[in-house]
Amino acid sequence: MDIAKLFSLEGRTALVTGGSRGIGKMIVEGLLSAGCRKVYISARKEDQIAAAVEHFGDRVVGIPMDISTVEGCKALAAAISEHEEKLDILVNNAGAAWGTDFDEFPEAGWDRAMDLNVKSPFFLTQALHQLLNNAASTEQPAKVINIGSIDGMRLNPWETYSYHASKAAILWLTKRMAARLIQDNIIVTAIAPGAFASDMNKAARDAGDAVAQSIPARRIGEAEDMAAAAIYLASRAGDYVIGETLTVDGGLVHADTRTSIAG
Protein backbone atom coordinates (compact mmCIF):
# COMPACT_ATOMS: atom_id res chain seq x y z
CA MET A 1 0.00 0.00 0.00
CA ASP A 2 1.48 3.31 -1.16
CA ILE A 3 0.38 5.83 1.47
CA ALA A 4 1.88 8.79 -0.35
CA LYS A 5 -0.05 7.91 -3.49
CA LEU A 6 -3.21 7.27 -1.47
CA PHE A 7 -3.34 10.91 -0.37
CA SER A 8 -1.75 12.47 -3.44
CA LEU A 9 -3.54 15.02 -5.64
CA GLU A 10 -0.68 15.16 -8.11
CA GLY A 11 -1.65 16.81 -11.38
CA ARG A 12 -5.27 17.56 -10.47
CA THR A 13 -7.18 20.78 -11.01
CA ALA A 14 -9.45 22.30 -8.37
CA LEU A 15 -11.80 25.21 -7.77
CA VAL A 16 -12.35 26.54 -4.25
CA THR A 17 -15.04 29.18 -3.88
CA GLY A 18 -14.35 31.68 -1.15
CA GLY A 19 -10.75 30.53 -1.41
CA SER A 20 -9.08 33.83 -0.63
CA ARG A 21 -9.40 33.69 3.16
CA GLY A 22 -10.47 31.67 6.19
CA ILE A 23 -11.36 28.02 5.78
CA GLY A 24 -11.21 28.30 1.99
CA LYS A 25 -7.62 29.52 2.13
CA MET A 26 -6.71 26.64 4.47
CA ILE A 27 -8.13 24.19 1.96
CA VAL A 28 -6.28 25.81 -0.94
CA GLU A 29 -3.01 25.44 0.94
CA GLY A 30 -3.75 21.78 1.55
CA LEU A 31 -4.66 21.04 -2.07
CA LEU A 32 -1.48 22.69 -3.29
CA SER A 33 0.66 20.82 -0.77
CA ALA A 34 -0.92 17.53 -1.88
CA GLY A 35 0.11 18.17 -5.47
CA CYS A 36 -2.67 19.97 -7.32
CA ARG A 37 -1.23 21.46 -10.48
CA LYS A 38 -3.70 24.36 -10.48
CA VAL A 39 -6.21 25.72 -7.97
CA TYR A 40 -8.74 28.33 -9.04
CA ILE A 41 -10.24 30.52 -6.35
CA SER A 42 -13.22 32.84 -6.45
CA ALA A 43 -14.49 35.60 -4.19
CA ARG A 44 -16.40 38.84 -4.54
CA LYS A 45 -13.58 41.18 -3.50
CA GLU A 46 -10.79 41.65 -6.01
CA ASP A 47 -8.27 42.86 -3.42
CA GLN A 48 -8.68 39.66 -1.39
CA ILE A 49 -8.27 37.57 -4.54
CA ALA A 50 -5.12 39.46 -5.49
CA ALA A 51 -3.63 39.05 -2.01
CA ALA A 52 -4.29 35.30 -2.02
CA VAL A 53 -2.78 34.84 -5.48
CA GLU A 54 0.30 36.80 -4.42
CA HIS A 55 0.57 34.63 -1.30
CA PHE A 56 0.25 31.28 -3.07
CA GLY A 57 2.01 31.93 -6.36
CA ASP A 58 1.38 31.00 -9.98
CA ARG A 59 -0.37 27.69 -9.29
CA VAL A 60 -3.36 29.68 -8.02
CA VAL A 61 -5.63 31.60 -10.39
CA GLY A 62 -8.11 34.09 -8.99
CA ILE A 63 -11.49 34.86 -10.57
CA PRO A 64 -13.51 37.62 -8.87
CA MET A 65 -17.17 36.60 -8.93
CA ASP A 66 -20.37 36.92 -6.92
CA ILE A 67 -21.91 33.44 -7.01
CA SER A 68 -24.95 34.23 -4.88
CA THR A 69 -27.01 34.17 -8.11
CA VAL A 70 -27.46 31.48 -10.74
CA GLU A 71 -26.05 33.90 -13.31
CA GLY A 72 -22.92 34.30 -11.20
CA CYS A 73 -22.52 30.52 -10.93
CA LYS A 74 -22.83 30.15 -14.69
CA ALA A 75 -20.36 32.99 -15.27
CA LEU A 76 -17.77 31.38 -12.99
CA ALA A 77 -18.21 28.03 -14.72
CA ALA A 78 -17.79 29.72 -18.09
CA ALA A 79 -14.61 31.43 -16.89
CA ILE A 80 -13.15 28.10 -15.74
CA SER A 81 -14.12 26.53 -19.08
CA GLU A 82 -12.00 29.11 -20.90
CA HIS A 83 -8.91 27.66 -19.21
CA GLU A 84 -9.71 24.01 -18.48
CA GLU A 85 -11.30 21.09 -20.29
CA LYS A 86 -11.90 19.22 -17.04
CA LEU A 87 -12.17 19.87 -13.31
CA ASP A 88 -11.13 17.20 -10.81
CA ILE A 89 -12.17 18.88 -7.55
CA LEU A 90 -14.83 21.44 -6.67
CA VAL A 91 -14.96 22.82 -3.12
CA ASN A 92 -18.15 24.77 -2.48
CA ASN A 93 -16.86 26.85 0.40
CA ALA A 94 -18.19 30.39 -0.11
CA GLY A 95 -20.72 31.21 2.57
CA ALA A 96 -22.49 33.91 4.52
CA ALA A 97 -23.91 34.31 8.02
CA TRP A 98 -26.50 36.67 9.45
CA GLY A 99 -27.53 37.18 13.05
CA THR A 100 -30.40 39.39 14.18
CA ASP A 101 -33.11 39.32 16.84
CA PHE A 102 -36.12 37.20 15.86
CA ASP A 103 -38.53 40.13 15.69
CA GLU A 104 -36.17 42.13 13.49
CA PHE A 105 -34.71 39.41 11.26
CA PRO A 106 -34.86 40.76 7.68
CA GLU A 107 -35.64 39.10 4.38
CA ALA A 108 -32.22 40.20 3.13
CA GLY A 109 -30.56 38.25 5.92
CA TRP A 110 -32.58 35.18 5.05
CA ASP A 111 -31.91 35.38 1.32
CA ARG A 112 -28.19 36.14 1.64
CA ALA A 113 -27.44 33.05 3.72
CA MET A 114 -29.76 30.69 1.87
CA ASP A 115 -28.60 31.86 -1.56
CA LEU A 116 -24.88 31.57 -0.89
CA ASN A 117 -24.93 28.56 1.44
CA VAL A 118 -27.47 26.35 -0.35
CA LYS A 119 -28.46 27.62 -3.78
CA SER A 120 -24.96 28.41 -5.01
CA PRO A 121 -23.37 25.00 -4.27
CA PHE A 122 -26.16 23.32 -6.23
CA PHE A 123 -26.18 25.60 -9.25
CA LEU A 124 -22.40 25.95 -9.45
CA THR A 125 -22.05 22.16 -9.41
CA GLN A 126 -24.74 21.97 -12.07
CA ALA A 127 -22.92 24.55 -14.21
CA LEU A 128 -19.62 22.66 -13.81
CA HIS A 129 -21.16 19.23 -14.32
CA GLN A 130 -19.64 18.72 -17.76
CA LEU A 131 -16.12 19.68 -16.65
CA LEU A 132 -16.42 17.36 -13.64
CA ASN A 133 -17.75 14.64 -15.92
CA ASN A 134 -14.78 15.10 -18.23
CA ALA A 135 -12.41 14.43 -15.33
CA ALA A 136 -14.31 11.56 -13.76
CA SER A 137 -13.67 7.85 -14.16
CA THR A 138 -14.21 4.73 -12.11
CA GLU A 139 -10.49 4.62 -11.35
CA GLN A 140 -10.29 8.33 -10.42
CA PRO A 141 -13.65 9.93 -9.60
CA ALA A 142 -14.13 13.67 -9.64
CA LYS A 143 -14.90 15.19 -6.23
CA VAL A 144 -17.36 17.79 -4.97
CA ILE A 145 -16.90 18.88 -1.36
CA ASN A 146 -19.54 21.09 0.23
CA ILE A 147 -18.51 23.09 3.28
CA GLY A 148 -21.28 23.03 5.86
CA SER A 149 -20.96 23.74 9.57
CA ILE A 150 -21.60 22.08 12.89
CA ASP A 151 -24.35 24.70 13.17
CA GLY A 152 -26.26 22.50 10.75
CA MET A 153 -26.05 19.72 13.35
CA ARG A 154 -26.43 21.55 16.67
CA LEU A 155 -27.46 24.96 18.01
CA ASN A 156 -25.17 27.87 18.68
CA PRO A 157 -26.15 30.56 21.21
CA TRP A 158 -26.87 33.25 18.61
CA GLU A 159 -30.00 34.09 16.60
CA THR A 160 -28.62 33.03 13.23
CA TYR A 161 -31.86 31.65 11.81
CA SER A 162 -31.03 31.52 8.12
CA TYR A 163 -27.48 30.34 8.79
CA HIS A 164 -28.68 27.41 10.91
CA ALA A 165 -31.30 26.50 8.32
CA SER A 166 -28.91 26.78 5.40
CA LYS A 167 -26.17 24.71 7.01
CA ALA A 168 -28.63 21.95 7.88
CA ALA A 169 -29.92 22.08 4.32
CA ILE A 170 -26.51 21.75 2.66
CA LEU A 171 -25.81 18.52 4.56
CA TRP A 172 -28.98 16.94 3.18
CA LEU A 173 -28.42 18.46 -0.25
CA THR A 174 -25.01 16.76 -0.19
CA LYS A 175 -26.69 13.37 0.18
CA ARG A 176 -29.18 14.04 -2.60
CA MET A 177 -26.49 15.30 -4.98
CA ALA A 178 -24.28 12.34 -4.08
CA ALA A 179 -27.02 9.88 -5.01
CA ARG A 180 -27.33 11.40 -8.48
CA LEU A 181 -23.74 12.28 -9.32
CA ILE A 182 -22.17 8.97 -8.32
CA GLN A 183 -23.80 7.69 -11.52
CA ASP A 184 -21.25 9.88 -13.32
CA ASN A 185 -18.32 8.86 -11.11
CA ILE A 186 -18.55 12.20 -9.28
CA ILE A 187 -18.37 11.80 -5.51
CA VAL A 188 -20.11 14.41 -3.35
CA THR A 189 -19.29 14.80 0.34
CA ALA A 190 -19.34 17.57 2.95
CA ILE A 191 -17.20 18.93 5.76
CA ALA A 192 -18.80 20.41 8.88
CA PRO A 193 -16.19 22.63 10.53
CA GLY A 194 -16.34 23.70 14.13
CA ALA A 195 -14.35 26.59 15.60
CA PHE A 196 -11.72 27.83 13.15
CA ALA A 197 -10.34 31.35 13.23
CA SER A 198 -11.88 33.33 10.38
CA ASP A 199 -13.79 36.51 9.61
CA MET A 200 -17.00 34.49 9.80
CA ASN A 201 -16.09 33.00 13.18
CA LYS A 202 -14.86 36.08 14.99
CA ALA A 203 -15.16 34.39 18.38
CA ALA A 204 -12.59 31.77 17.42
CA ARG A 205 -10.45 34.39 15.72
CA ASP A 206 -10.44 36.97 18.50
CA ALA A 207 -10.90 34.81 21.62
CA GLY A 208 -9.57 31.40 20.63
CA ASP A 209 -8.32 30.49 24.10
CA ALA A 210 -11.71 31.19 25.66
CA VAL A 211 -13.60 29.31 22.94
CA ALA A 212 -11.23 26.35 23.37
CA GLN A 213 -12.46 25.83 26.93
CA SER A 214 -15.82 24.58 25.61
CA ILE A 215 -14.29 22.16 23.08
CA PRO A 216 -13.46 18.58 24.14
CA ALA A 217 -10.11 18.74 22.31
CA ARG A 218 -9.34 21.93 24.31
CA ARG A 219 -8.27 23.93 21.26
CA ILE A 220 -9.75 25.56 18.19
CA GLY A 221 -9.09 24.14 14.74
CA GLU A 222 -5.84 24.81 12.91
CA ALA A 223 -5.16 25.11 9.19
CA GLU A 224 -3.70 21.58 9.09
CA ASP A 225 -6.93 20.13 10.49
CA MET A 226 -9.03 21.58 7.70
CA ALA A 227 -6.44 20.90 5.00
CA ALA A 228 -6.16 17.25 6.08
CA ALA A 229 -9.94 16.75 5.90
CA ALA A 230 -10.12 18.22 2.42
CA ILE A 231 -7.14 16.21 1.16
CA TYR A 232 -8.66 13.00 2.53
CA LEU A 233 -11.98 13.51 0.78
CA ALA A 234 -10.43 14.80 -2.45
CA SER A 235 -7.84 12.03 -2.79
CA ARG A 236 -7.95 8.28 -3.47
CA ALA A 237 -8.16 7.84 0.31
CA GLY A 238 -11.74 9.13 0.25
CA ASP A 239 -13.01 7.38 -2.89
CA TYR A 240 -15.32 5.04 -0.96
CA VAL A 241 -16.86 7.84 1.13
CA ILE A 242 -20.00 9.06 -0.63
CA GLY A 243 -22.68 11.46 0.62
CA GLU A 244 -21.04 11.61 4.05
CA THR A 245 -20.36 14.66 6.21
CA LEU A 246 -16.97 14.73 7.92
CA THR A 247 -17.26 16.63 11.19
CA VAL A 248 -14.06 18.52 12.02
CA ASP A 249 -14.78 20.24 15.32
CA GLY A 250 -12.60 18.88 18.13
CA GLY A 251 -15.47 16.76 19.45
CA LEU A 252 -18.24 19.33 20.00
CA VAL A 253 -20.93 17.44 18.13
CA HIS A 254 -20.04 13.83 18.87
CA ALA A 255 -17.89 13.85 21.99
CA ASP A 256 -19.31 16.54 24.28
CA THR A 257 -21.26 15.08 27.20
CA ARG A 258 -22.29 18.44 28.61
CA THR A 259 -25.85 19.59 28.14
CA SER A 260 -25.09 23.31 27.90
CA ILE A 261 -24.51 24.98 24.55
CA ALA A 262 -20.89 25.82 23.91
CA GLY A 263 -20.14 29.48 23.37
* DSSP calls for 50-86: HHHHHHH-TTEEEEE---SSHHHHHHHHHHHHTT-S-
Number of residues in the chain: 263
Q: Let me know if 118 is exposed, middle or buried by CB neighbors in 10 A (0-12, 13-18, 19+).
A: buried
Helix (H) / strand (E) element for 41: namely strand 38-43
Residue 75: phi and psi, rounded to 5, are: -65, -40
CA dist., res. 257 & res. 236, Å (int): 34
53-62 long-range contacts, Cβ below 8 Å, gap at least 24? 56/28, 56/29, 56/32, 59/32, 60/28, 60/32, 62/20
- Active-site residue (options: 161, 163, 232, 240): 163
CA–CA separation, 176 vs 180, rounded Å? 7
232 assigned to active site: no
Decide if 120 contacts 67 (C-beta within 8 A): yes
**215/169 Cα distance (integer angstroms):** 24
Contact criterion met (CB below 8 Å) for 41 and 14: no
Active site members: 163
